[in-house]
Chains A and B, each alone.
Chain A
Amino acid sequence: MIAIIDYDAGNLTSVARAITHLGFKCIITNNIKDIDKAERVIFPGVGAAGSAMESIKRLGLDKAIKDAFSSGKPILAICIGTQIIMEYSEENDTDCLGIIGGKVLFFNFDEINKSGNNLKIPHMGWNSINIQKNHPVLSEVKADDEFYFVHGYYPAPDNYTHVIGTTGYGISFASVIGYKNIIATQFHPEKSGRPGLSILKNFCAWKPC
């Protein structure tokens, strides 16, 4: 069973639908026991870091997520989930879970846009990833595959060995982060068509060593 963590951060049913479509069983839950019992955990979400962290603490999920990480079970973080596993987010000046060292920063295009560009925020739409490091969850991603992004802030891990993939939007940022039993994407694999589904499928079979 895969536990999809529900912390009132937007609509989590699309992740559940994609997992179900792939033939795996999942539950959307904020129950710590469910998360503890699950073989795998998905930590998704949309919204803002401040309110996300608030809900996580209120529901006691901060400890549950850290425990899941320590237990070694595979964890997939998506979008705001990926930002929340970092130490700190500039969004709402928020202290986060600190599973991965580094900060979450706001896209600042003031300088870039002065020179005639018009880079918009959020970074919304399809973009590619440059794989920096092979990872079993990304094994089926092809060079020109693209993924669906919607975000105004981006994760900046301290340790470059945690960067599995990068994406260019004004700057180059870490769009896939991996460390031990956690794999985290800034994009939405559940909304990224065939290549996104391949990531979810591979996550459901992943055995971190």
Chain B
Amino acid sequence: MLSKRIIPCLDVRAGKTTKGIKFENNVDIGDPVEMARFYYEAGADEIVFYDITASSDKRDIMIDVVRRVAETIFIPFSVGGGIRTVEDMRKVILAGAEKVSINSAAVNNPEIISRGAEAFGNQCIVLGMDVKYVGKSEKIPSGYEIVINGGRTFMGIDALKWAVETEKLGAGEICLNSIDADGTCNGYELNLTSLISENVGIPVIASGGAGKPEHLYDVLTKGKADAALIASMVHYGTYSISGIKTYLDESGVKVRKSW
């Protein structure tokens, strides 16, 4: 039986992680390669990097990070942020990333999904979706709308319709981020997650809102997610990946226990 995946997410700006891990000796580790190694050894099933570098001239720094991560860890990892063209995807994949994540570029130009899938295979293309609840309407029948620019720009696109469409275009996986839940540490958006997951045939990674292991349990069971993204709950040392996995295992969720 397939295990549910636990995926730490690292934000990287100009080659440094924005939230370092606080180790016991209180030394901040801001190097994404060292953080990747730490999570690899700690039992992460996959790692997600988001490049939040604002200026495009510093993007090549990320390619170097990807290359060094690929030499250090031997589990899959994906890279998102700033990927706008098939050429951007190619650079990241050739540097050693398993998958690329595209979000606003896909909303603005859906063709990039199919072109990326043709070039590298569906399994390489993770469709990132930022979603906000706006109430059901004729235009947004599910009540969940696609937003970009960190939730500031409403796109007038229904999230469920978009998820189904991106699967048809060739997305291999959906990373579903609830802007409402993100940063609250009050749990994932379960209704949204189960709605999307039940209506697509590709895996769904739930993102936004994780604060404690119970939240992962909820989203991997009631939320029907295939994987759960986590950030601050592990970055600050509040929980360990092995602790979360032990909790999930004891609660009856299949997770990878040996690494």
Interface of A toward B, CB cutoff 8 Å: 10-11, 13-14, 17-18, 21, 46-48, 118, 120-128, 142, 144-146, 148-150, 168-169, 190-197
Which of B20-28, B141-149, B195-203, B234-242 lies at the interface with chain A? B195-203
Which of B227, B257, B258 is A125 in contact with, Cβ under 8 Å? B227
A-B pairs with beta carbons under 8 Å apart, 27 shown: A14-B70, A17-B70, A17-B96, A18-B74, A46-B121, A46-B124, A48-B121, A118-B198, A120-B201, A121-B202, A122-B122, A122-B123, A125-B3, A125-B4, A125-B45, A127-B3, A146-B3, A146-B256, A146-B258, A148-B75, A150-B123, A168-B1, A190-B74, A191-B75, A191-B76, A192-B75, A193-B40
Q: Which residue, B1, B4, B76, B122, has most C-beta atoms of chain A within 10 A?
A: B76
Is A127 within 8 A of B75, CB to CB? no
The interface residues of chain B lying within 8 Å CB-to-CB of A197 are 74
How many of B's residues come within 8 Å of A, CB to CB?
A: 36
Secondary structure of the B contact surface, majority rule: loop
Is A13 within 8 A of B123, CB to CB? no
A197 to B75 alpha-carbon distance, docked (Å): 10
Interface string of B166-204 (1 = CB under 8 A from A): 000000110000000000000000000000011011110
In the complex where A125-B2, A126-B45 touch, is A46 in contact with B123 (Cβ < 8 A)?
yes
A168, closest chain B residue (CB)? B1
Which of B5, B121, B197, B201 is A10 in contact with, Cβ under 8 Å? B121
Is A11 within 8 A of B93, CB to CB? yes
Is A192 within 8 A of B74, CB to CB? yes
Which of A47, A148, A195, A196 is B121 in contact with, Cβ under 8 Å? A47
B93, closest chain A residue (CB)? A11
In the complex where A13-B96, A118-B197, A124-B173 touch, is A21 in contact with B122 (Cβ < 8 A)?
no
A146 to B45 alpha-carbon distance, docked (Å): 10
* A-B pair number, CB within 8 angstroms: 93
In the complex where A11-B94, A13-B96, A18-B74 touch, is A125 in contact with B121 (Cβ < 8 A)?
no
Which 9 pairs from chain A and chain B are nearest by CB? A126-B3, A144-B258, A150-B123, A126-B256, A146-B256, A145-B258, A47-B121, A193-B259, A191-B76
Interface string of B1-29 (1 = CB under 8 A from A): 11111000000000000000000000000
A145 to B76 alpha-carbon distance, docked (Å): 16
The interface residues of chain B lying within 8 Å CB-to-CB of A46 are 120-121, 123-124
Is A127 within 8 A of B121, CB to CB? no
A148, closest chain B residue (CB)? B76
The interface residues of chain B lying within 8 Å CB-to-CB of A128 are 1
A21 to B197 alpha-carbon distance, docked (Å): 37
A152 to B161 alpha-carbon distance, docked (Å): 24
The interface residues of chain B lying within 8 Å CB-to-CB of A125 are 2-5, 45, 203, 226-227
The interface residues of chain B lying within 8 Å CB-to-CB of A142 are 258
The interface residues of chain B lying within 8 Å CB-to-CB of A126 are 2-3, 5, 45, 256
In the complex where A125-B226, A197-B74 touch, is A14 in contact with B98 (Cβ < 8 A)?
yes
**Nearest CB of chain B from residue A21's CB, rounded to whole Å:** 7
